[in-house]
Amino acid sequence: MRRNLLEINDLKTQEINFLLEEAEAFKEVLARPIKKLPTLRGKTILTLFYEPSTRTRMSFELAAKRMGADVSNIAVSASSIQKGENLKDTVRTLEAMGVDLIIIRHSQAGAPHLVAKTVKASVINAGDGTHEHPTQALLDLYTIKDKKKTFKGLKAAIVGDIAHSRVARSNIWAFTKMDMEVTLIAPPTLLPAEVEKLGLKPIKISYSLEEIIPKLDILYILRLQLERQKKGLFPSLQEYIKLYGVNPEKLRKSKRDLLIMHPGPMNIGVEITESVATSMQSAIEEQVHNGVAIRMALLNYLLGGKNEDPA
């Protein structure tokens, strides 16, 4: 039985399909007037976020509450962590209070793995540095399945700041795992070295958005992480917008059923224009909505059954 979700590639294809199928049942619960289940009654879930977050933390909290679990949130800025307590001590202390599952976001890649080795409680990686954000990949897969019914052979492009994006890394694994064709589009300076070696099947690299758009089924737009752009990785914001910003003009030759996705938060007017974000092709709002359902399925998967210690 699975205890943790640290990386998307840890999940077998059949586990992903199982979660996507179960998410349907949870989506139905979210449409009810009383959005509450007794399934995880008595379980204690903790969100431990060392980086700011609105949607991911809220999405987990709602998912846990709607499953009947007790949820505590630790705001790192107001905790003992400010007094110099290290991560291992922090999580050991929290586990001693009877926590069943820790959802952690940290600026260091591998922090969730360290936590998983330290405690017996389940651990979910809610984003570690520029490494992975597996539940984002799950909700993206769920949104794609919801719209396209199948994954096989779909052509997806991930465009933007690949270098700083944990979402891109998780989705390269997730998309190739489900047999989709993946192309990365970015300025060469925002592509990490040897990025084409990621994924379970070969991925393509392109530097031109307009050339590739007519072939795509999915256009996945990443947030330009402006706070990390101090090193002058591209000449100017205006040039980035011109070449890689998605606007209606660039989408003129796209397929009608092209799916436009974005993990949020958006820099409107930079990587995406408002009219694209709210267009018929956009699934951005559905992504957020589906996030709660798939996280409920995941919590149920990790905590619902008899959780034998794998050791």
Identify the residue among 12, 13, 15, 28 touching other proteins (CB under 8 A): 28
Give the closest residue to 71 by CA, choosing from 83, 80, 59: 59
83 is catalytic: yes
Q: Is 3 a catalytic residue?
A: no
Give the C-alpha distances (Å, rounded to integers) separating 163 from 19, 140, 191, 240, 299: 29, 19, 5, 15, 30
Of 19-27, 138-146, 170-178, 282-290, the segment contacting other proteins by CB under 8 A is: 19-27
The residue annotated as part of the active site, out of 57, 133, 177, 223, is 133
Q: List, edge to edge, every strand of the sheet that includes 204-206.
A: 204-206, 181-185, 155-159, 218-221, 259-261
- Which of 7, 26, 74, 173 touches other proteins by CB under 8 A? 26
For residue 177, how far is the Cα from the chain centroid? Answer: 15
Q: Is 142 in the site for other proteins (CB under 8 A)?
A: no
Interaction of residue 38 with other proteins, rule CB under 8 A: yes
Identify the active-site residue in 27, 57, 105, 177: 105
Query: CB under 8 A: which stretch of 14-22, 131-139, 152-160, 236-244 binds other proteins?
Result: 14-22
The separation between the first and the last C-alpha atoms of the chain, rounded to the nearest angstrom, is: 12
In a 13 Å sphere around the CA of 195, the CA atoms on its Cβ side amount to 28
- Catalytic-residue membership of 105: yes
Residue 143 falls in the annotated catalytic set: no
Any contact of residue 197 with other proteins (CB under 8 A)? no
Q: Kindly indicate which of the ranges 9-17, 24-32, 251-259, 261-269 contains the residues binding other proteins, using the contact rule CB under 8 A.
A: 24-32
Q: Does 24 bind other proteins (CB under 8 A)?
A: yes
| Number of residues in contact with other proteins under rule CB under 8 A | 23
C-alpha 260/C-alpha 140 separation (Å) is: 11
Is 37 a binding residue for other proteins by CB under 8 A? The answer is yes
* Contacts (Cβ under 8 Å, ≥6 apart) of 49: 57, 73, 74, 75, 76, 104, 105, 126
Give the sign of the dihedral formed by CA 301, CA 304, CA 305, CA 309: positive
Q: Do residues 18 and 137 make contact, with C-beta atoms less than 8 angstroms apart? A: no
Check if the beta carbon of residue 124 is closer than 8 Å to that of residue 4. yes
- Report, in Å, the least distance between residue 23 CB and other proteins: 9
Minimum distance of other proteins from residue 122's CB (angstroms): 14
Q: Which residues are catalytic?
A: 55-56, 83, 105, 133
Q: Which residues bind other proteins (CB under 8 A)?
A: 1, 18, 21-22, 24-29, 32-34, 36-39, 297, 300-301, 304-306
